[in-house]
Structure 1
Amino acid sequence: MGFSSKSKLQRGAVLTDTLIGEGSVLEGSCISEADIRVEGEVNGDLRTSGEVVIGEKGSVRSEIQARDVTIAGRMEGTVRATGVVRITPSGRLTGMVEASSLIIEKGAVFQGTSRMADGSEDRILSCVVV
Structure 2
Amino acid sequence: MFNNGKETKRDQVELSNASTQIMKGTTVEGNIETFGNVRIEGKIIGNIKSKSKIALGDSSFVQGNIISQNAEIAGEVKGIVEVSDVLTLKATANVKGDIITGKLIVESGAVWNGTIKMGTAPKDIKLSENGHGQLEEQKESVK
**Band the TM-score falls in, shorter-chain normalisation:** 0.7 to 0.9
The answer (yes or no) to whether the contact 2:42–2:59 under 8 Å persists in 1 is yes
Structure 2 counterpart SS, 1:23: coil
The answer (yes or no) to whether the contact 2:12–2:35 under 8 Å persists in 1 is no
Aligned equivalent of 2:30: 28
Structure 2 counterpart SS, 1:93: strand
The answer (yes or no) to whether the contact 1:22–1:57 under 8 Å persists in 2 is yes
1:62-92 Cα deviation digits (max 9, x unpaired) = 1011001111011110011111111101111
Structure 1 counterpart SS, 2:80: strand
> What is the identity percentage for the equivalent residue pairs of Structure 1 and Structure 2?
25
Q: 1:61 to 1:90 in 2, by over 3 A?
A: same
Deviation at 1:11, TM superposition (A): 4.6
| Structure 1 residue corresponding to 2:70, chosen from 59, 68, 71 | 68
- The number of residues matched between the two structures is 111
| Structure 2 residue corresponding to 1:104, chosen from 103, 106, 117 | 106
Q: 1:70 to 1:10 in 2, by over 3 A?
A: farther
Aligned equivalent of 2:14: 13
The answer (yes or no) to whether the contact 1:61–1:77 under 8 Å persists in 2 is yes
Q: Distance in 2 between matches of 1:88 and 1:16?
A: 24
The answer (yes or no) to whether the contact 2:102–2:120 under 8 Å persists in 1 is yes
Unaligned stretches of 5+ residues in structure 2: 1-9, 122-143
Deviation at 1:13, TM superposition (A): 2.6
Q: Distance in 2 between matches of 1:110 and 1:26?
A: 24
Unaligned stretches of 5+ residues in structure 1: 1-8, 120-130
Q: Could you list the runs of 4 or more consecutive aligned residues of structure 1 that deviate by over 3 angstroms after TM superposition?
A: 9-12
Q: 1:50 to 1:10 in 2, by over 3 A?
A: farther
Structure 2 counterpart SS, 1:99: strand
**Structure with larger Rg:** 2
| TM norm structure 1 | 0.79
Aligned equivalent of 1:41: 43
Which structure: greater helix fraction?
Answer: 2
Q: 1:109 to 1:27 in 2, by over 3 A?
A: same
Structure 1 counterpart SS, 2:114: strand
The answer (yes or no) to whether the contact 1:82–1:117 under 8 Å persists in 2 is no
| Structure 1 vs Structure 2 CA RMSD | 1.6
Q: Distance in 2 between matches of 1:11 and 1:53?
A: 20
Structure 2 counterpart SS, 1:13: helix
